[in-house]
């Protein structure tokens, strides 16, 4: 099983991953970007804005993804792998580029490896505004609410276009209710 937890910044991914970690003791927990030694360097470069070129920045994320899929996801394909983000974020956040082009590049980077289960925590505009106001915003969060809501729409479109088995969950539900809905989805209910 290759399970991915998706959502824009502040959607509640880390909160739910911490709960999953208590229940899935045998699973491999990983993340993008930065789930491998090379990926950790690529993450620093990408998130610190070291590349001047938007295209170079997009390829940093793709390089991270290619290494992560081969070294973590495929090498552990007999186990349960649970990842914080995936190609779904990769395709969506690269919003300067056409969606179909990003799908093509990401399928190349992942050798067509798709998540078996995608959980998308979906934020309303008001809840996103509230959560961003509660924290110090990084460079991506400073791009604003409309930017992030557009990324969220691209995430949903990507999941549907790729036909990935998925569950969209209202991120403003209580932490316990979201945890329950994730559990039901993973148990095939
Ligand atoms: N269901 C929820 N209801 C209300 N607040 C929540 C809920 N889930 C998480 N939060 C709060 O929202 C904030 C963001 O949560 P969290 O760090 O889990 O999100 P994230 O998706 O991992 O964010 P990022 O991508 O920015 O790292 C935290 O302050 C967290 O306590
Ligand atoms: C995978 C991926 C991520 N991003 C963005 C999304 C976030 O703002 C950061 C990652 O930080 P987090 O700790 O996981 O929230 O990077 C992106 O722009 N492109 C991508 O492919």
Give the CATH number, domain containing residue 128. 3.40.50.300
Average pLDDT over residues 118-136: 97
User: Among 75-79, 142-146, 151-155, which stretch is predicted with the lowest mean pLDDT?
Assistant: 142-146
Backbone angles phi, psi at 71, to 5 degrees: -85, -25
The burial of 118, by beta-carbon neighbours within 10 Å (0-12 exposed, 13-18 middle, 19 or more buried), is given as buried
Quote the pTM value: 0.98
d(CA 68, CA 4): 13
d(CA 49, CA 57): 8
Residue 91 C-alpha to ligand 2 middle, in angstroms?
11
Print the domain residue range for 151: 2-26+80-186
Confidence of residue 167 (pLDDT cuts 50, 70, 90): very high
Per the structure, the count of domains in the chain is 1
Which ligand is closest to the CA of 135, given by its number? 1
Q: Is residue 69 part of a domain?
A: no
Q: Is residue 135 part of a domain?
A: yes
Count CB atoms within 10 A of the CB of residue 59.
18
Each residue's pLDDT tens digit, 62-118: 999 999 999 999 999 999 999 999 999 999 999 999 999 999 999 999 999 999 999
Average pLDDT in the chain: 97
CB within 8 Å of 18: residues ≥ 6 apart: none
Q: Is residue 125 part of a domain?
A: yes
The closest-lying atom of ligand 1 relative to the alpha carbon of residue 175 is 1
């Amino acid at each position: 099983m290759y399970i991915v937890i998706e959502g824009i910044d502040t959607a509640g991914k880390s909160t739910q991953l911490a709960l999953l970690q208590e229940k899935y003791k045998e699973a491999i927990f990983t993340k993008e970007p930065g789930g491998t030694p090379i990926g950790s360097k690529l993450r620093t470069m990408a998130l610190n804005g070291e590349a001047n070129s938007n295209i170079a920045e997009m390829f940093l994320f793709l390089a991270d993804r290619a290494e992560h899929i081969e070294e973590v996801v495929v090498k552990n394909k007999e186990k349960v792998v649970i990842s914080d983000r995936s190609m779904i974020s990769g395709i969506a956040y690269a919003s300067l580029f056409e969606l179909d082009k990003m799908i093509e590049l990401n399928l190349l980077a992942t050798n067509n490896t798709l998540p078996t289960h995608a959980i998308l925590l979906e934020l309303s505009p008001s809840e996103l505004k509230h959560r961003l106001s509660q924290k110090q915003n990084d460079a991506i969060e400073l791009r604003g609410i409309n930017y992030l809501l557009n990324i969220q729409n691209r995430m949903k479109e990507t999941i549907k276009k790729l036909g990935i088995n998925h569950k969209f969950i209202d991120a403003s539900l209580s932490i316990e209710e979201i945890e329950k809905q994730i559990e039901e989805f993973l148990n095939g209910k």
